Structure 1
Amino acid sequence: MYVAHNSLSENAKVWVYPSSRKFYPQEIDGLKEKLHQFISEWKVNKNAFKASFEIKYNRFVIFYAEDNVTLSNADIDAQVGCILALQQDYEIELLDKMNVCFKQGEFIQYKTVKDFKKLLKSKSVNDKTIVFDNLIQTKYELENFWEVPITESWYNRFL
């Protein structure tokens, strides 16, 4: 059952899917419609549960599910199926969570780890650069630990 993401508890489960490119303005309404439809039909053992989605920075697709629900492998597979369909529809990559997303001025960059290390070496990014930890797991972590300086993330090992 779709609910507004801000109505879910801090313990709500979260999945972040970074896009390899920014969604174009003309794509946003259709993307929201597809995500809303998926969330509205997403059920556990044929029982509805509170879930939501968000598109942040026109770059990240975020799914939420209330923490009192136990999702099976089939439920997660359904979510991944939705993401795979979006990848095909929009000709983007959403499943490669090991790429680095970071802020460079007002822009969100998406680079391979190899390219990110080169940027660090050339001092194009530094220890104050804000990175996105797309491996976070709860709404609380999303709100407090998703956008952090490199020194406060698992990427700090590259410094």
Structure 2
Amino acid sequence: MNLDFQQYLPADFHDNSRVWIYQSSRLFSMSEAFEIEPMLNSFVADWKTHGTPVKGYANLFFGQFIVIMADETAAGVSGCSTDSSVRLIKDIEQRFKVDMFNRQNLAFILKDKVELLPLAHLNHAITNGFIKPETLYFNNLVATKQELESKWIAPANNSWLASKFAIASQG
């Protein structure tokens, strides 16, 4: 699995550009991805904050993650403009019958595929060695372009999950 997503991020966006990541409950099919792309492009082209265009970017990565980014060096993103991005994601949810807001599903790379694991099963997966400290994890909590580039896909032990491994090793 090629994880080199950074090459698709806009080079002219500031490192502190705000990032929102929405993880789908399933992989989108190729035809669905081809439908989503113009939706994202149209949203970014029309994205405004108090009438001022937002320098925005949106893309579907790994067939399962929608990344939206706003470079706020020209215009800050207001609550209303953030709400419009949430409406877009809700539209995608309804149209494709997916869940894009379930933060209880964690995404890992296992056997060269993105696999979702319910948070409730995490301790069992760690205890039984399915998830190891070096297992690559999608940390959808990253908030800036710089964090997206360096910390979005990282060993689980380099994320908030590190404490889970410490607890498992004590038990």
Q: TM-score, normalised by structure 1?
A: 0.92
User: Which amino acid in the other structure matches residue 19 of structure 2?
Assistant: V
Map 1:1-159; keep pairs closer than 5 Å.
5-68=10-73, 69-159=75-165
Query: What is the number of residues matched between the two proteins?
Result: 156
Alpha-carbon distance between aligned partners in 1 of 2:14 and 2:31, rounded to the nearest angstrom:
32
After superposition, the C-alpha distances for 1:54-90 in whole angstroms (9 at most, x for unaligned) are 2111110000100323222111111111111100111
Q: Secondary structure at the match of 1:79?
A: helix
RMSD: 1.3
CA distance, structure 1, for counterparts of residue 149 and residue 39 of structure 2: 24
- TM-score normalised to the size of structure 2? 0.86
Q: Distance in 2 between matches of 1:121 and 1:52?
A: 39
State whether residues 43 and 49 of structure 1, in contact with CA within 8 Å, keep that contact through their aligned partners in structure 2.
yes
Q: Which has the higher contact order (CA 8 A, sep 6+)?
A: 1
Contact 2:54 2:77 in 1 (8 A): no
Q: Shift of the alpha carbon at 1:23?
A: 0.9
Q: Determine the C-alpha separation between the residues in 1 that align with 2:83 and 2:114.
A: 28
SS of the aligned residue for 2:142 comes to coil
On the 8 A contact 1:5/1:51 being kept in 2, the answer is no
Deviation (angstroms), 1:142? 0.4
Identity over aligned residues, as a percent? 23
Stretches of structure 1 that go unaligned for 5 or more consecutive residues are: none
Residue type matched to 1:30 in 2? E
